A and B are shown apart, each in its own frame.
Chain A
């Protein structure tokens, strides 16, 4: 299995631009998570989906952030408009099912820099 695939690996954009991050979870995994990692705050859960349905988006920092999962094999995280403080590494992760006993598999992340 190719694992969780994220694109792009790096994204540099100017403040005010729209940014779209993409994720393909492991085939057969029903839960998908978006995390953000910064030096100051560590890893923060932004939102997670079970069977393509958003379950908890309480970690989404502002209305500028939105996430979708149109099908079981694809999810996007969008920031519009982007701001310099959004600069971070964004990780997507998936697990086999919604029970608590499944380990999480992470993608390699998207490093976002907003200038």
Chain B
């Protein structure tokens, strides 16, 4: 059974610092990995999707890497801003089908 872990559970940084969020998964047989952002009281917003054949994806200040063999992904957010404060979740789609398995999330606070 696939298990997805995100450490740390919470992170606080001063504005302008780069953010590094980690995600690990136990079964390397995945189709893709997605990073989401969740604001309080809201649903999840898809940030980046990395196919299993890719090693990274970039969108603006966000960059996500994928190392399938070691079961790890990292989300980098450059020059963090207070508006980046949210919970970030990673999720993997296993080889068995279309189901996403989510990590517990990392709650990020960027202090002005």
Contacts and interface: CB of A to CB of B under 8 A. Distances in A.
Interface in B36-66: 36, 41-46, 49, 51
Interface of A (DSSP majority class):
strand
B97 to A, nearest CB: 7
Contacts of A50: 98
B49 A55 contact: no
Interface in A3-57: 4, 31, 33, 42-43, 45, 48, 50, 55-56
Interface residues of A, number: 24
Nearest to A3: B43
B102 interface: yes
A31 B93 CA distance: 14
Given A43-B89, A91-B43, A104 B100 contact: yes
Contacts of B93: 100
A99 B105 CA distance: 25
B49 A43 contact: no
Given A43-B89, A100-B32, A101-B49, A4 B43 contact: yes
B104 interface: yes
Contacts of B44: 91, 93, 104, 106
